[in-house]
Chains A and B, each alone.
Chain A
Amino acid sequence: EAQVTQNPRYLITVTGKKLTVTCSQNMNHEYMSWYRQDPGLGLRQIYYSMNVEVTDKGDVPEGYKVSRKEKRNFPLILESPSPNQTSLYFCASSSRSGVKTQYFGPGTRLLVL
């Protein structure tokens, strides 16, 4: 089954404790992206990757890091989480060719205390 998976699905942590949210896709997609979704602000793009070892900032990259060492994986790293990073996070992937139809993962709900 073609899918995007994220782990963990729910996470409660404390300020300053480094964490990683994993994202994996099995569709051989070149393009992958991370979003956060907040009430009243909608979905905002954090980082995206056009292919292995190619990443770029989206609209709200501050406080986040990403890496793309393998085509299927695109982890999101919060080196020192803060309460304003409490949010619902989505990973998405798409083929790079043509119109980018994005397929979203199930989401990770993060609470930073």
Chain B
Amino acid sequence: QKEVEQNSGPLSVPEGAIASLNCTYSDRVSQSFFWYRQYSGKSPELIMSIYSNGDKEDGRFTAQLNKASQYVSLLIRDSQPSDSATYLCAVNSDTGNQFYFGTGTSLTVIP
């Protein structure tokens, strides 16, 4: 059973601060990694994908991947109240056909 672990939170940060979300996974052969944002009552929407070690930046979001440590993180700079949501980490299987999701981290950005 492949596992994806996330701290469920809740995580609270003040507006303008950096929010740091973490995820670990158990399968060493996983190829691709994803961060989704899910607002209450809505469907998940993709924020970023990453598949190479290192950092990947997209606007206020930075994903960091360390395959040796089986660790992927998401940094949100200049956090806004509109970033308040649950953030889901997802991992692709080695075949690329199956996906495994963490239970999500609830983030609240306090104005």
Q: How many A-B residue pairs have CB under 8 A?
A: 52
A contact face: mostly helix, strand, loop, or mixed: strand
Contact digits for A48-59, partner B, Cβ 8 Å, 1 yes 0 no: 101000001011
B97 touches A104 (CB 8 A): no
Top 7 nearest A-B pairs by Cβ distance? A42-B103, A43-B101, A104-B43, A42-B101, A99-B32, A104-B44, A99-B49
- Asked if A99 and B51 sit within 8 Å, CB to CB, the answer is yes
Count A-side interface residues using an 8 Å CB cutoff: 24
Instruction: Digitize A17-42: 1 where CB-to-B-CB distance is under 8 Å, 0 elsewhere.
Output: 00000000000000101010000111
Chain B residues, Cβ within 8 Å of A59: 1, 98, 100
- Given A42-B88, A101-B46, A50 contacting B97 (CB threshold 8 A): yes
